[in-house]
A = this chain, B = another copy of it.
Amino acid sequence: MFSGMEVAKILRDNGYKVTPQRLAVYDCLAHTKSHPNAEMLYRALQPQFPSMSFATVYKSIEILNRLNLVKVLNTGEESFRYDADISNHQHIQCIRCGRVDDLRMDASAFVDKAEKESGYEIKSEEAYFFGICPECRKKSAN
């Protein structure tokens, strides 16, 4: 998680211009835990940038992702979700309400085993769990 000034510096140092839109996309991702998709980001940025287009949302994310400032999540829904937390962690999604939460577990033993068994040189890893979140469990009263 970086400050606006840090993000600006990273953009500048990599030859990208620092625009309010790019900073706002990062800022939005950095200040939410909801792992939004492009549409949620677009809607969240509308009040501040009424003229902003989806193209800019996607182009901003592409750059932020290339600079390793945001991660792309893939929970199996129609659209991708995005996360400004680039530390190694896993995700868990509620199959009732759709929310996505973070999970922090040390997966290095799992990765090492996968590397040995597959013969691949592993560069990254994504783990998704699916189930029923504490709130939905309460609601269903079983």
Contacts and interface: CB of A to CB of B under 8 A. Distances in A.
Nearest to A115: B131
B123 A118 contact: no
Interface stretch (A19-27, A51-59, A100-108): A100-108
Contacts of A94: 120
Interface in A38-85: 72, 74-76, 80
A115 B134 CA distance: 11
B95 A123 contact: yes
By size class, the interface of chain A is 35 or more
Nearest to A117: B103
Contact of A132 (B111, B120, B132, B134): B120
A142 to B, nearest CB: 9
A131 B127 contact: no
A124 B130 CA distance: 5
Given A90-B114, A110-B105, A130 B123 contact: yes
B133 A119 contact: yes
Nearest to A132: B121
Contact of A129 (B76, B90, B92, B114): B114
A112 to B, nearest CB: 11
